A and B are shown apart, each in its own frame.
Chain A
Amino acid sequence: MNNIISDETIEYVGILAKLELSEDEKEQAKKDMGSMLDYIDKLNELDTTGIEPMSHVFSVQNVFREDIVTNGDDRENILKNAPAQKDDMFMVPKTFD
């Protein structure tokens, strides 16, 4: 493996992804990420001079909606997705700005 992921990096990625990993999981994740980056390095060997970066896999553009209200009050169903609720709102751990 050419790409070695440091402990600091895996710690940082864990914070960004809101994941708490055990020591074993961290080691495994370091290996997986290293091999992914190796694969990207492989792709980087290709000569892409003069090729426009692709912005989407489909050659489709301009898919729009008109500005017309189509959804009504579906609160009851939407709130079924909430792990907990109170006063018709989604209840989440205390969060400050």
Chain B
Amino acid sequence: MAKQYETVIGLEVHVELATKTKIFCGCSTEFGGAPNTHTCPVCTGMPGSLPVLNKQVVNYALAVGLATNCDITQFCKFDRKNYFYPDNPQNYQISQLYLPICRNGHVDIETPEGRKSIGIHEIHMEEDAGKLIHDEWEDCSLVDYNRSGVPLIEIVSEPDMRSADEVIAYLEKLRMIAQYIGASDCKLNEGSMRADVNLSVREMGAREFGTRTEMKNLNSFKAIMHAIEGERERQIELLEAGEKVIQETRRWDDTKEYSYAMRSKEDAQDYRYFPDPDLVPVYISDEWIDEVKKSLPEFREEKMARYKAEFDIPDYDIGIITDSKHMADIFEETVSICNQPKKVSNWLMGETLRLLKEQDMDAEDIRFSPENLAKLIGLVDSKAINSSVAKEVFEAMFENDIDPEKYVDEKGLRTVNDEGALKKTVEEVIANNPQSVEDYRNGKEKAIGFLVGQTMKAMKGKADPAMVNKMLKELL
């Protein structure tokens, strides 16, 4: 009988923090600036420049640490990790090895077998590297240091995961925590959340871990799933063939769906860490910890439970709405204005999700304000616009956060409630469609649908179909 194997997975997750400035200098962290416009002597590693720690980085790291049940290292400091690479202009990365800010935490994930706790070995603060661009025309590479010095936390898990599904559940959990705190937007495709997967296999029931490999370049959940399946198979094949797994770093190519070894033997990984003498230690007092604890938001599980108790909307809707802190905020603020949870939920679950999907956007990218959504709901409720006009207004609001009231006035989209004007149009329609009128009078109920349609068309959609229907019946 074939041997059964167990996959053992641990994750190193880098999360880019949502600070306005870099970790050690006052340069902007804004994404997408022209090359090297957010740089200074500190983040380009110029001799004699001195780093000064951004306090907000410590606050975010503390918040994530507390939310993941970590012990806080009250006396922590920074170390230098030495290596040569052009995206790292100092030739060392400022990181934390000896006294990382958080240790011994855990988060719970849901699995088909029930709730499972995933251990967090540590969380440390560090700086990001610049971006290397390979020049196709000249035999050189080009470096943009805008990202150099952008603050990161690295969350190192224990090797507690056993499948790709558990990995995804764990990542989703971390994403939720960081997003709810506001510590990061956690977009895998933009690199604000990155995961390195450490994976080994062992025979079912074995006590010792097998030799692990580390996989990099995983920038979507799909890539992570594929890479885990691919690497598991590769390692099992090696073992079945009587060969050994080599401890190495591998790069996943998601288009070709295979991984290859990244570093050569001459390129030794020997980082020679030592305390960074440019930075003084950080002492985190009990008061500071309490302050951050108090500032922690209501997290997703708590929010879901509260929605269930407070609002009459389906569990499915609650799941989707709370899947994004941003969407949950819009929901709650809109409900606090118009007090119509079901209608707010319908707009989010229906048109919002449809447009997000159509335009390949995340819930985090929603731009319309709760005030405007509440106004739109008000317009529909007061029958100032009908439902198909409302959809049109919503699209404009989704694009540019327009004020729905102004928009319907400017575009003249308000339903004509002037009975005189409507009556005139209905009479015209009746006069112009003798056949349908006759059909209706002869008992063909359906013929009225055609007449309603014709009236709506003549009114350019700005009528209440129910009112048109009623008026037609009266006149016939």
What is the interface of chain A, defined by CB distance below 8 A to chain B?
12, 15-16, 18, 55-58, 60-71, 73-75, 78-79, 81, 84, 86-97
Our pick among A15, A64, A92 for the contact of B268 (Cβ within 8 Å) is A15
For chain B residues 239-296, which have a beta carbon within 8 Å of chain A? 251, 262, 266, 268, 270, 272, 275, 277, 279-283
The answer to whether A18 touches B84, judged by C-beta atoms less than 8 angstroms apart, is yes
Our pick among A18, A57, A68 for the contact of B21 (Cβ within 8 Å) is A68
Take A65-B21, A86-B135, A90-B142 as given contacts and tell me if A79 and B36 are in contact as well, using a CB distance cutoff of 8 Å.
Answer: yes
For chain B residues 12-66, which have a beta carbon within 8 Å of chain A? 19-21, 25-28, 34-41, 44, 46, 52-56, 58
The answer to whether A15 touches B266, judged by C-beta atoms less than 8 angstroms apart, is yes
A55 vs B467: C-alpha distance when bound (angstroms): 80
Our pick among A68, A78, A84 for the contact of B20 (Cβ within 8 Å) is A68
A22 vs B37: C-alpha distance when bound (angstroms): 41
A66 vs B251: C-alpha distance when bound (angstroms): 38
Report the minimum CB–CB distance from A43 to chain B (whole Å). Answer: 16
The answer to whether A67 touches B21, judged by C-beta atoms less than 8 angstroms apart, is yes
The answer to whether A67 touches B19, judged by C-beta atoms less than 8 angstroms apart, is yes
Cβ contacts under 8 Å, A16 to chain B: 82, 268, 270, 272
Take A55-B77, A90-B142 as given contacts and tell me if A66 and B55 are in contact as well, using a CB distance cutoff of 8 Å.
Answer: yes
The answer to whether B55 touches A95, judged by C-beta atoms less than 8 angstroms apart, is no
Cβ contacts under 8 Å, B28 to chain A: 69, 71
Our pick among B46, B82, B86, B282 for the contact of A61 (Cβ within 8 Å) is B282
A74 vs B41: C-alpha distance when bound (angstroms): 10
The answer to whether A56 touches B135, judged by C-beta atoms less than 8 angstroms apart, is no
Report the minimum CB–CB distance from A45 to chain B (whole Å). Answer: 22
The answer to whether B134 touches A94, judged by C-beta atoms less than 8 angstroms apart, is yes
Cβ contacts under 8 Å, A86 to chain B: 135, 138, 140, 142
Determine whether B458 belongs to the interface, using a CB cutoff of 8 Å to chain A: no
A87 vs B86: C-alpha distance when bound (angstroms): 17
Determine whether B5 belongs to the interface, using a CB cutoff of 8 Å to chain A: no
Determine whether B165 belongs to the interface, using a CB cutoff of 8 Å to chain A: no
Take A56-B77, A90-B142 as given contacts and tell me if A71 and B40 are in contact as well, using a CB distance cutoff of 8 Å.
Answer: yes
A94 vs B75: C-alpha distance when bound (angstroms): 41
Chain A residue at minimal CB-CB distance from B85: A95
> Can you offer 19 A-B residue contacts whose CB atoms are under 8 A?
A55-B77, A56-B277, A56-B280, A62-B283, A63-B280, A64-B53, A64-B55, A64-B58, A65-B55, A66-B56, A67-B21, A78-B40, A86-B142, A90-B36, A90-B142, A91-B138, A92-B142, A94-B141, A95-B132
Report the minimum CB–CB distance from A33 to chain B (whole Å). Answer: 14
Our pick among B36, B251, B281 for the contact of A55 (Cβ within 8 Å) is B281
A81 vs B139: C-alpha distance when bound (angstroms): 21
Total chain B interface residues with beta-carbon distance under 8 A: 56
The answer to whether B272 touches A92, judged by C-beta atoms less than 8 angstroms apart, is no
For chain B residues 141-155, which have a beta carbon within 8 Å of chain A? 141-145
What is the interface of chain B, defined by CB distance below 8 A to chain A?
19-21, 25-28, 34-41, 44, 46, 52-56, 58, 75, 77, 82, 84-86, 99, 132-135, 138-145, 217, 251, 262, 266, 268, 270, 272, 275, 277, 279-283
Report the minimum CB–CB distance from B203 to chain A (whole Å). Answer: 34
The answer to whether A89 touches B39, judged by C-beta atoms less than 8 angstroms apart, is no
Report the minimum CB–CB distance from A65 to chain B (whole Å). Answer: 5
The answer to whether A63 touches B53, judged by C-beta atoms less than 8 angstroms apart, is yes
Take A65-B26, A95-B141 as given contacts and tell me if A55 and B275 are in contact as well, using a CB distance cutoff of 8 Å.
Answer: yes
Report the minimum CB–CB distance from B296 to chain A (whole Å). Answer: 19
Report the minimum CB–CB distance from B21 to chain A (whole Å). Answer: 5
A57 vs B272: C-alpha distance when bound (angstroms): 20
A75 vs B19: C-alpha distance when bound (angstroms): 21
The answer to whether A91 touches B142, judged by C-beta atoms less than 8 angstroms apart, is yes
The answer to whether B266 touches A88, judged by C-beta atoms less than 8 angstroms apart, is no
The answer to whether A90 touches B53, judged by C-beta atoms less than 8 angstroms apart, is no
A65 vs B270: C-alpha distance when bound (angstroms): 32
Cβ contacts under 8 Å, B140 to chain A: 84, 86, 91-94
Our pick among A61, A68, A89, A91 for the contact of B281 (Cβ within 8 Å) is A61
Take A60-B280, A63-B52, A65-B53 as given contacts and tell me if A75 and B37 are in contact as well, using a CB distance cutoff of 8 Å.
Answer: yes
Report the minimum CB–CB distance from B336 to chain A (whole Å). Answer: 29
Chain A residue at minimal CB-CB distance from B271: A16
Cβ contacts under 8 Å, B53 to chain A: 63-65
Chain B residue at minimal CB-CB distance from A64: B55
A69 vs B282: C-alpha distance when bound (angstroms): 22
Q: Given A71-B25, A97-B251, 8 other A-B contacts at CB below 8 A?
A: A16-B268, A56-B280, A57-B277, A63-B280, A69-B21, A89-B36, A92-B86, A93-B86
A95 vs B144: C-alpha distance when bound (angstroms): 14
Chain A residue at minimal CB-CB distance from B251: A97
The answer to whether A88 touches B54, judged by C-beta atoms less than 8 angstroms apart, is no
Cβ contacts under 8 Å, B82 to chain A: 16
Report the minimum CB–CB distance from B246 to chain A (whole Å). Answer: 19
Cβ contacts under 8 Å, A93 to chain B: 86, 140-141
Report the minimum CB–CB distance from A19 to chain B (whole Å). Answer: 11
A84 vs B92: C-alpha distance when bound (angstroms): 22
The answer to whether B39 touches A75, judged by C-beta atoms less than 8 angstroms apart, is yes
